[in-house]
Amino acid sequence: GQGEIRDVGKTLVNRTSGLKNANDSLKGRIFEVSLADLQNDEDHAFRKVKLRVDEIQGKNCLTNFHGLDFTTDKLRSLVRKWQSLIEANVTVKTTDDYLLRLFAIAFTKRRPN
């Protein structure tokens, strides 16, 4: 389904010149936006959303979801002393030919002595 339409920022692009179309340099570009800005909710400030430009309409870049991440300081705050942070990711292809990349974050548990 289609999400809400939000103006989340501006980007610079070189003017179209000769055979080089300005729109082509924008397609596929990845933008990183704070979820707090998207939702007008500071509680989500540590979540970063990656948006990929898939289409250009006039002066608007239409984006699709490309990924979700935590800010570095948030990740650090989740790891306590004497704990290890384990990160893993796997890319799978769905039956309808979508590539899906899954990320997992785990923390080791401290054993009582």
CA-nearest of 71, 25, 93, 11 to 102 is 93
The pLDDT of residue 19: 67
Q: What is the pLDDT along the chain (113 residues), one digit of tens a residue?
A: 456 667 878 888 877 777 667 788 889 999 999 988 888 888 889 999 999 999 998 888 899 999 888 888 888 887 777 788 888 999 999 999 999 888 888 888 877 76
Could you give the 3-state DSSP secondary structure of residue 30? strand
71 neighbors 91 (Cβ within 8 angstroms): no
Nearest-angstrom CA–CA distance, 36 and 33: 8
